[in-house]
Amino acid sequence: MATLPDDSAVAWPAVAAQIHASGRQMVLAVTGGGTGAVSALLQTPGASRTMLEAVVPYAHAALVDWIGAVPEQACSAATARAMAMASYMRARGLAPAADPRSLLGVGATASLATDRPKLGGRRIHVAWQSAEQTWVESYCLADITPNRADDERASTSFLLWIIAGACGVKDAKLYQSLPTSRQDELLQVNGGRGEFPQQDLLMGKRRFAVLKAESSFNYFPESDSPAVGIVFPGAFNPPHAGHLRMMEIAEQRVKAPAAWELSITNVDKLPLDFMSMKERITAIRASDDKRLVALTRAPTFREKSELFPRATFVVGIDTLARIAEPRYYDGDEVRRDAAISEIASQGCRFLAFGRMIEGEFTVLSDLNLPPALAAICDEVSAGEFREDVSSTELRSALVDS
C-alpha cells in the first residue's frame, strides 16, 4: 500500500492562487469526499474572482435535488458529469453577464473509507463542464491504506489538480502529491470537445443543428438546413429495432424526408453534455447512417413545431397522452389547448404508435384526447406495429449484466 507524503497539502494554496488568477468563474459541487478543495479555494485570497458558489449535496435527497434525477449510482463518472452540468447551468444563472466560455461547472463524487460496510472500492470521480468541453477523470484509492484522513487528502489533491487543469494551470507538485505506485493503472480519463454547432446549442446561440446523412460530425449550415417532413423525437438511449421499424412505417405513410430529433434540453432534466451527445449520435449512426439527425433546443412539441413546420411527428402513445395531460401545463387546460392550437397552426400532425401502458397494449383509439389534439393525430394499429421492448428496459438489462 502507498502512503501520502506528509506535506501533500502544502501545494494546495499555491494551486488555488493560480486557479483564482486564471480568469475562470465556477460553481463547485462535491459529495462524499474531497471537501478540502472547497476550503483550500475559499481560504486562499482571490476566491471572490473565481468562486460563484460551492455546494455539498451530501444526503441522497440533496444530490437528487442538485442533478434533478435519481442517479443509477451515487458515486460514478456519470453522476459526476451530471453534477458538473448542474454546476455549469448554475454558473450561467449566477453570472448572466459573463462570457459563457469563461464559466466552469465542477462536480465531484467520492466513496472513501468509512465506519460502515462499503459497496465497491474507494474512489473519486471528478468532472468539469464548460461551454466547449465535457471532461471526467476517475481515481481509484486502492493503493492507499484505508484511512479516512488519507483518503480525504488524496481526494482533495486530485480534485484541485483536475480543477487546475480545467483552468489551464499545470502543477507538477500537486500531481506528485498523489500516490504514484500504479497511477497509470488507477487513473481513468474520458471527455472531449463539443462540435461548434453543439457548443452553440448549449449556449443558446442556435436552436437546432442538422447532421448530414452518413456523418457523425458534419452539420448543415443553419441557413441551409434541409426541409424535413417526418421528425422522430426521442432520447434514443439506446435506439433499438422498434425505433427503426417506426421510422420505416412513417416513411411509407407520409412519403417525406425523415430525421431523428434529439433535444439537448428537457423540461425537467439537465441538458445533455457533449459526451452524451456523442454517445447518442454514435448509437443512432450505428443503426442508421442514412437519415438526418437533428439536435435541437426544443423540449416541447410546441417548440418543435416552430422548427419543423408541416412535419409529422412520430410518437409513442405514452408521449401523446402526456401532451394531453393538463398537469404538464401546471394544471392549466387553457395553456394546454393553446399549445395544441399552436402545433396545429404550424401544419404539424402526430403519427401515434401503440405502447404497453399499465400492462396493456394501448393505441390511439383507446385514448380520450381533447378534440383539437385528436384531429391532428393518425393511428398505427397493433396489426401494423407492436414492439414491447423499451430503451429503459434495455438500459436496465445492460446495468444488470
**Residues in the chain with pLDDT < 50?**
181-182, 395, 398-401
Instruction: Report how far Cα 317 is from the mean position of its chain's Cα atoms.
Output: 25
- Among 377, 249, 279, 251, CA closest to 319: 377
Give the bridge partners for 260, in sequence order.
232, 293
The backbone torsions φ and ψ at residue 66, rounded to the nearest 5 degrees and listed phi first, read: -70, -45
pLDDT of residue 392: 61
Neighbours of 322 (CB within 10 A): 13
DSSP state string for 324-390:
H-GGGGTT-HHHHHHHHHHHHHTT-EEEEE-EEETTEEE-GGGS---HHHHTTEEEE-TTT------
All three cell numbers of 251: 416513411
Instruction: For Cα atoms 73, 79, 84, give the angle at the middle one, nearest 5 degrees.
Output: 165
* Phi then psi dihedrals of residue 127, to 5 deg: -130, 150
Strand, coil or helix: what is 35? coil
pLDDT reported for residue 400: 47
CA 76 to CA 191: how far, in whole Å? Answer: 15
Backbone dihedral region for residue 54 (phi beyond 0: left; psi -120 to 50: alpha; all else: beta): beta
d(CA 358, CA 141): 45
What per-residue confidence (pLDDT) applies to 399? 47
**DSSP symbols for 245-298:** HHHHHHHHHH-S-EEEEEES-BTTBPPP-HHHHHHHHHHHHHH-SSSEEEEES-
What's the CA gap between 346 and 307, in Å, rounded?
Answer: 10
pTM exceeding the 0.85 threshold for the entire prediction: yes
Helix 148-166 to helix 36-43 angle, to the nearest 10 degrees?
Answer: 50
Cα angle, residue 88 at apex, residues 86 and 92 outer, rounded to 5°: 115
C-alpha cell at 215: 456523418
Spatial separation of the C-alpha atoms in residues 241 and 210, rounded to whole Å: 23
Residues across the chain:
401
* pLDDT of amino acid 177: 61
Phi, psi of 177 (to 5 degrees): -80, -10
Residue 355 CB-half CA count within 13 A: 19
